[in-house]
């Protein structure tokens, strides 16, 4: 029999703050983390705004020498992971380290480091100018590697790479490792630092991002008729998952239970979802089946909803199909309206917000939803947070390549 999986710790680095309390308060109060990009010259970019990280001190988690040798996404991942482990009170040295693993992925990884050394090599034509730390500082699995080395976690060590579904897949697969006996606890989530010249240029090239540069706080506007694309953001989010038995044996505080995980593939297009949201529907359905729930049992859905025309409508259609007669009753919101889109870290951040919604009985709002687009007519919790009894939450993440992932969290009983 598979074991029950509980969440005992959470940590984040985000555009709305880098502590749980600060970030959650800002999300619930609708305080946008979108701002003008200042860390490189964007004067020639059509998009000049992003969700840049606030309140993070890399010195608190890595020494200066190690920071110089590693990409920013590794700094964020390390910060979120250490915060989550501290929050869980997980003393790995006092436990069986062979039974504690790490599963932290990224959608893009060390793109900033890659582009920096590409320029250096092109300008100098000398491989001597390329750091011996270039590869280990930029490859995606090194967040898990660095975290395991820093914390002494010797269990399963891996990194999922599935675009914007990365964190959900990292968390879901980690849960299954615990459920079927490969580990007692897993440190799982995602990290991203894609707000670089090449990162932003790439998304600008496909015309996927908002150009509402004169009003950054209003740029991310899921389901709104006037939305013009998503807002890129950076950060990391990590959860500590444990078997119920392991958590109870050490007297851990339990936030919630992870009861469902579902995946699917669109098999449709490189960047666009199928118009009817079929892939999203199948992924959500699989998560509910895994949890043993009906759609009507859900009290809240944290949607993927990035603020693109095709994506928001496709997810709405998928939700209507999933919820059926309950479509008008189940609240849905997009916290990306406040945080922007953290790509491979988005699902981890939204999992944390979903769990805090259960803890506090608060539905975070969708800000900037001034004029709902045609067909986008669910209860999207517009503008302001709402008090509600929340026992079961579905959290969605969908990515380029037609990859989909959904998680179900429930109040622990």
Residue tagged active-site, from 28, 164, 195, 376: 164
For 77, counting Cβ atoms within 10 Å of its Cβ (0-12 exposed, 13-18 middle, 19+ buried), the class is buried
Query: Which DSSP state fits 362?
Result: E
Q: Coil, helix or strand for 175?
A: helix
24: β partners: none
The answer to whether 338 and 27 are in contact (CB under 8 A) is yes
Length of the chain: 413
398: β partners: 404
Q: What is the CA radius of gyration of the chain?
A: 20
The answer to whether 303 and 334 are in contact (CB under 8 A) is yes
CA distance 395 to 167: 11
Q: What are phi and psi of 283, to 5 degrees?
A: -65, -45
Distances from the Cα of 328 to the Cαs of 140, 207, 324, in angstroms?
A: 41, 33, 9
CA 410: distance to chain centroid? 18
Closest to 231 (Cα-Cα) out of 248, 213, 245: 213
Half-sphere exposure of residue 210: CA atoms within 13 angstroms, side-chain side? 33
Q: What are phi and psi of 92, to 5 degrees?
A: -60, -35
Q: Is 169 considered catalytic here?
A: no
- Residue 251, sorted as left (phi over 0), alpha (psi -120 to 50) or beta, turns out to be left
Q: Is 164 considered catalytic here?
A: yes
Catalogue the E-assigned strands of 193-335. 235-243, 256-265, 300-302, 332-333
Residue tagged active-site, from 75, 169, 246, 304: 304
Q: Is 304 considered catalytic here?
A: yes
**Which residues does the annotation mark as catalytic?**
164, 304, 341
């Amino acid at each position: 029999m598979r074991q029950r999986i509980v969440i005992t710790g959470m940590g984040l680095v985000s555009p709305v703050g880098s502590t749980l309390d600060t970030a959650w308060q800002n999300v619930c109060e609708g305080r946008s983390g979108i701002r003008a990009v200042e860390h490189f010259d964007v004067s020639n970019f059509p998009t000049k705004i992003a969700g840049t990280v606030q309140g993070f001190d890399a010195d608190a988690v890595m020494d200066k020498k190690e920071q110089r040798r590693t990409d920013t996404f590794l700094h964020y991942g390390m910060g979120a992971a250490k915060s989550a482990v501290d929050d869980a009170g997980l003393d790995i040295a006092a436990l069986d380290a062979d039974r504690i693993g790490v599963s932290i992925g990224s959608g893009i990884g060390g793109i900033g480091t890659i582009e920096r050394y590409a320029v250096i090599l092109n300008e100098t034509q000398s491989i001597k100018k390329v750091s011996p730390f270039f590869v280990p500082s930029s490859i995606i699995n090194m967040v898990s590697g660095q975290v395991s080395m820093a914390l002494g976690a010797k269990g399963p060590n891996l990194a999922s790479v599935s675009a914007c579904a990365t964190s959900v897949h990292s968390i879901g697969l980690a849960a299954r490792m615990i459920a079927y006996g490969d580990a007692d606890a897993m440190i799982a989530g995602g990290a991203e630092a894609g707000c670089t010249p090449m990162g932003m240029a790439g998304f600008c090239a496909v015309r996927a991002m908002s150009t509402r540069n004169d009003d950054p706080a209003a740029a991310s506007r899921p389901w709104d008729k006037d939305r013009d694309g998503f807002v890129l953001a950076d950060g990391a989010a990590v959860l500590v998952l444990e078997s119920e038995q392991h958590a109870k044996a050490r007297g851990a505080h339990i936030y919630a239970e992870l009861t469902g995980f579902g995946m699917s593939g669109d098999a449709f297009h490189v960047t666009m979802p199928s118009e009817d949201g079929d892939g999203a529907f199948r992924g959500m359905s699989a998560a509910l089946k895994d949890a043993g729930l009906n759609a009507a049992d859900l009290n809240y859905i944290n949607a993927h909803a990035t603020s693109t025309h095709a994506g928001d409508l496709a997810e709405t259609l998928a939700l209507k199909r999933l919820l059926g007669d309950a479509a008008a009753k189940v609240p849905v919101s997009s916290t990306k309206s406040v945080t922007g889109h953290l790509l491979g870290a988005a699902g981890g951040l939204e999992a944390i917000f979903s769990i805090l919604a259960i803890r506090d009985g608060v539905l975070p709002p969708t800000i900037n939803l001034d004029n709902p687009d045609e067909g986008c007519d669910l209860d999207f919790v517009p503008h302001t947070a709402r008090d509600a009894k929340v026992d079961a939450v579905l959290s969605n993440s969908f990515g380029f390549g037609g990859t989909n992932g959904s998680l179900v969290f429930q109040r622990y009983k």
